[in-house]
């Protein structure tokens, strides 16, 4: 801490841009993209990363798109169906710190290439699992989680190195649009292919082909800016920067990082639970209304997956863009704008979710309307929470910081939430008669927990707003002081 204070005392005048202020000449030079990477190539690289992010989240939610078929095929309960997502996230969070450590120290393109190959191969392999070996399907989902963690951990830091200030916020907004878009396309692809071909296995053979294209594009078109970062930063190499940041920067003294990470955890909890279970919940609501026949053999009705996927795509795009635009304008007059927008989004999402699950027993259309509104409000946060982390953490520790946030948010969030909803649903069903109404009520009552977590997440972002300005200034001072010290 004394050394950190000493570095602060050497800071030059001016301010660095971490999302709220204009950079001075010195700090702009500190942050700018390496000179041998043109603006055109940077935009092209971000486009490729966005395509891979699309593929990433398609593989995340492809299971949810055909969950009813998978339950029927393997003859598993709600609890075991929820555990499918749990093993996926468990593999994801266990490997995220490892990839974050490597991403701060070694060639990120190589790490991403290995990750894409692993998750695409595991997805393809899972399509050949027979009904006699459901445990192999569970294991394959864990390996998909391991592969996707490399991308989710490292890709945002490459974008951060390719851009700065408002441009970085814009690029991150575009990048994070593909979370809901990819998730929605996962539902659409899974249900569409299953209906067209007659078996859900074929849905798991499309994205690996897209993964081969992603791997080629990554190798040919995406640079790794850290390879040349020392040229423009006064000898600030990867090793020296990482070691210095590890020594001096203190994440756990950054209260905005802690509270925002807990807010992201709440987002992860509700998106994991609703993403897996909402199409099945709506299907059960339709059974209660006698709108669809019960599924006794594959392929099952997947209209809800198609509709939910389309809603996720549209509300995700509109929500992320709206959140980015509001944040860009509002933080010109309020430096606490980012966490406040996230808080409003979460606190407004909770009543929309509650209304959607309660109204589903009266009107499917009303349920869809409030689901769409809730997803829009939740999508306001995707790019903003990433930008918060990037301006309160030293640049050369961002991969590790992202990995830490990912690990915490998934460990306490969607690692357990789908499984928790499933076992609560099973427990409620055991107390009711074996009927379609009992199956519907079991998920309906289970979802109430997600509404409470949404309110809790809004509170975490309000606490983030109390400290974000102070922590951003400390990160700026550290960067300037460490730069001059070197």
Listed in sequence order, the residues at least 6 apart from 195 whose beta carbon sits closer than 8 Å to its beta carbon are 299, 302
The single residue listed with the structure tokens 């929309």 is 352
CA dihedral angle for residue 385, residue 189, residue 78, residue 420, rounded to 10 degrees = -10
pLDDT at 227 over 80: no
pLDDT at 480: 60
Q: How does pLDDT run across 327-380, given as a tens digit for each residue?
A: 888 888 888 888 999 999 999 999 999 999 999 988 889 999 999 999 999 988
Question: How many Å apart are CA 123 and CA 138, to the nearest integer?
Answer: 11
pLDDT at 258 over 70: yes
- What average pLDDT score do residues 53-78 get? 88
DSSP annotation of 413 reads T
Asked whether the whole model's pTM tops 0.75, one would answer: no
DSSP annotation of 11 reads P
Question: How many Å apart are CA 387 and CA 350, to the nearest integer?
Answer: 23
Q: Each residue of 232-264: b (16+ CB within 10 Å) or e?
A: ebeebebeebbebbeebbebeebbbbbbbbbbb
Q: What is the chain's length? A: 486
Count other C-beta atoms under 10 Å from residue 485's C-beta: 12
Burial class (CB in 10 A: 0-12, 13-18, 19+), 449: middle
pLDDT at 214: 92
At 29, the pLDDT band (50, 70, 90 cuts) reads very low
pLDDT at 154: 85
154 token code pair: 């490292």
Q: How does pLDDT run across 147-193, given as a tens digit for each residue?
A: 988 888 888 878 877 776 667 767 877 887 788 888 889 888 888 88
Peptide bond into 299 cis (omega under 30): yes
282 token code pair: 């709506």
Of 153 and 278, which is predicted with more confidence? 278
Question: How many Å apart are CA 315 and CA 111, to the nearest integer?
Answer: 32
290 token code pair: 């006698």
Domains and CATH numbers, the chain: 34-228+250-485 (1.20.1250.20)
pLDDT at 18 over 70: no
- What average pLDDT score do residues 86-91 get? 87
Question: How many Å apart are CA 393 and CA 397, to the nearest integer?
Answer: 7
Q: How far is CA 265 from CA 109, 182, 213, 314, 406, in A?
A: 28, 20, 32, 24, 8
């Amino acid at each position: 801490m004394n050394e950190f204070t000493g570095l602060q005392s050497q800071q030059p005048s001016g301010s660095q841009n971490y999302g709220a202020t204009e950079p001075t000449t010195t700090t702009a030079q500190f942050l700018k993209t390496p000179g041998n990477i043109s603006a055109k190539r940077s935009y092209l690289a971000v486009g490729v990363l966005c395509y891979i992010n699309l593929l990433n989240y398609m593989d995340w939610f492809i299971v949810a798109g055909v969950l009813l078929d998978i339950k029927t095929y393997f003859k598993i309960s709600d609890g075991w169906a929820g555990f499918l997502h749990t093993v996926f996230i468990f593999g994801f969070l266990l490997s995220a710190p490892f990839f974050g450590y490597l991403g701060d120290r070694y060639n990120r393109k190589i790490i991403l290439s290995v990750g894409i190959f692993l998750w695409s191969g595991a997805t393809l392999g899972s399509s050949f699992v027979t009904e006699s070996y459901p445990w192999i399907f569970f294991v394959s989902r864990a390996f998909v989680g391991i592969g996707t963690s490399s991308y989710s951990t490292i890709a945002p830091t490459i974008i951060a190195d390719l851009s700065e200030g408002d441009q970085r916020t814009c690029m991150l907004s575009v990048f994070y649009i593909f979370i809901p878009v990819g998730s929605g396309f996962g539902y659409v692809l899974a249900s569409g292919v299953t209906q067209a071909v007659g078996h859900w296995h074929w849905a798991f053979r499309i994205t690996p082909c897209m993964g081969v294209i992603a791997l080629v594009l990554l190798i040919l078109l995406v640079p790794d800016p850290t390879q040349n970062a020392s040229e423009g930063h006064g000898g600030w190499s990867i090793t020296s920067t990482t070691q210095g940041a590890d020594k001096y920067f203190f994440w756990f003294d950054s209260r905005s990082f802690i509270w925002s990470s807990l807010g992201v955890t709440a987002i992860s909890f509700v998106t994991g639970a609703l993403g897996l279970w909402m199409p099945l919940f709506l299907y059960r609501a339709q059974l209660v209304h006698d709108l669809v026949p019960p599924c006794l053999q594959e392929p099952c009705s997947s209209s809800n997956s198609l509709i939910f996927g389309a809603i996720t795509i549209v509300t995700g795009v509109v929500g992320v863009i709206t959140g980015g635009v509001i944040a860009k304008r509002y933080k010109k007059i309020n430096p606490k704008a980012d966490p406040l927008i996230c808080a409003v989004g979460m606190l407004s999402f909770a009543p929309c979710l509650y209304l959607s699950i309660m109204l589903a027993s009266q009107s499917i259309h009303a349920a869809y309307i409030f689901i769409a509104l809730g997803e829009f409000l939740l999508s306001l946060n995707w790019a903003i929470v990433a930008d918060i982390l990037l301006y309160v953490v030293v640049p050369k520790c961002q991969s590790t910081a992202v990995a830490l946030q990912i690990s915490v948010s998934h460990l306490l969030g969607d690692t357990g939430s789908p499984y928790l909803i499933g076992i609560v649903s099973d427990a409620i069903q055991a107390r009711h008669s074996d009927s379609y109404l009992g199956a519907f009520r079991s998920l309906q009552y289970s979802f109430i927990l997600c509404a409470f977590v949404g309110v809790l997440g809004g509170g975490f972002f309000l606490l983030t707003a109390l400290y974000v300005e102070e922590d951003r200034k400390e990160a700026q001072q550290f960067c300037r002081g460490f730069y001059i010290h070197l």
